[in-house]
Each structure stands twice: as C-alpha cells, then as structure tokens.
Amino acid sequence: MKRLTGLMICMALSPAVYAAPESEMPDAMQHLVTAPDIDFANLRDPFASYLARVSSTGKNALLENQLQLSNREREALEGYDLGSLKLVAIFSMGGERVAMIEDSSNKGFIIRRGNYLGKNNGKIEKITGDTVFLVEQVLDPAGDIIDRQVTLTLNEVNQ
C-alpha cells in the first residue's frame, strides 16, 4: 500500500513527465476510416436458399446448352420421358444395330446410334445385343452440368 501511495504522489507532483505534450497528441480525424462502397443491388439475400440459387444458375446453364444444341432439328422421341418408353427389339439392319422403342400408346420408333432420346438431351452412344446406352446432360447438386449414362434394357417377352 505504501508503494502505491508513493507512486500516486510522484505522479501528482510531476504531471509533465507522465502526460504527453499537446503537440504530440494524435488527431482523431487523422485516423478516420471510411466504409467501403456496397453494391446493394447485387447482395445475396441472407434468407434465400443457397441451394435454390445454385440450382437456378445450373438450370440457366443447362438451358443455354440446350439452345446451343437447338441448331439441329428436334427428334420425335425427345418429347418423351425415358420412363414412358419401352425397348421392344434390337436387330441388325445394313450392318449396324438398330433398336425399336414403343411409347405408352404402343407406337413404335426405330432408333440408331447418334439419335437423341428423352427430355434431357439423351444421345444414343451404343447399342448392344440387349441394351441401348445413352448419355444425358443433367444437373448435379452443385448446379454443374454433368453427363449421366442411362441404359434401356430389353425386357423378357413374358413380362
């Protein structure tokens, strides 16, 4: 306690030693920081779902990709969902394998390698003895366009 009292007395007797001169006092306005400019029009809504935003950007990219493919004439089978089509037969015609597909109204279509099938721009890559392989362009959960391999398999006759 004696030391603390002695220190207080020393500070009271010599204020010039412990206080900085007025000329060296920092100017508060000298250290004023301005806030950065904020573009409120492009801010992300904190209450909107991030997955919905990613999905919409992916869908936009998929639509742009479909527009690039729209230079070609759309085939009749591109309007069907793959679940509504049924692979009926596979046979050779002119040295290449072709397949016959039926829609839900039992209307038959002949398809070859290179034809398009289904709503997701499914392109037929290969036809084997009992399977048709196609590659579709779909969105992954991150919103990127990926190629997905889909197969249509020949069903048993008695099913």
Domain over 50-153 is classified CATH 3.40.1640.10: no
Per-residue confidence (pLDDT) for residue 68, from 0 to 100:
60
Per-residue confidence (pLDDT) for residue 60, from 0 to 100:
74
The pairing of strands 108-111 and 145-153 is unpaired
**Could you read off the pLDDT tens digit of each residue along the chain, which spans 159 residues?**
555 555 555 555 555 555 555 566 566 666 777 888 888 888 878 888 877 776 777 777 767 766 665 567 778 888 888 888 999 999 998 889 999 999 989 999 999 999 998 888 889 999 998 999 999 887 776 667 788 999 999 875 434
Q: How many residues does the chain have?
A: 159
Beta strands in the chain (DSSP E): 86-93, 96-102, 108-111, 116-117, 122-127, 131-139, 145-153
The pairing of strands 145-153 and 131-139 is antiparallel
Those residues whose C-beta lies under 8 Å from the C-beta of residue 149, and which sit 6 or more positions away, are: 125, 133, 134, 135
| pTM of the complete model | 0.56
Q: Whose structure tokens read 């639509």?
A: 63
Chain centroid, CA 128 distance in Å: 33
Per-residue confidence (pLDDT) for residue 2, from 0 to 100:
54
Per-residue confidence (pLDDT) for residue 14, from 0 to 100:
54
